[in-house]
Amino acid sequence: MSFHEGMKATTWTQYTGQEKKINVFHQRCLHKILGVTWQNNLTNKKVLKQATLPSMTTILCKRRLRWLGHVK
């Protein structure tokens, strides 16, 4: 494994933990805004579909790519 491959794995691990926390916060906000409770038994995917929004991970990924100049 090269130095760069090791760095990618380290960076990816750190972002994964942060992204999970951001996704949980995003889902909680959407649940409150849409009035969804645990008793409604909706999956996160269904809540995102109902809100017509992508997941926060998708939003962050697109913004990172745009910031790096890969996507306009």
> Tell me: the pLDDT tens digits for 6-39?
545 555 555 778 888 989 999 999 999 999 988 8
Mean pLDDT, residues 27-52:
91
Task: Give the C-alpha separation, 30 to 46, whole Å.
Answer: 11
Q: How is the chain split into domains, by residue range?
A: 3-68
pTM, entire model: 0.66
> Tell me, what's the pLDDT at 34?
92
Residue with tokens 């760095």: 7
Dist. CA 14–CA 5, nearest whole Å: 15
Kindly tell me if the per-residue pLDDT of 5 is higher than 70: no
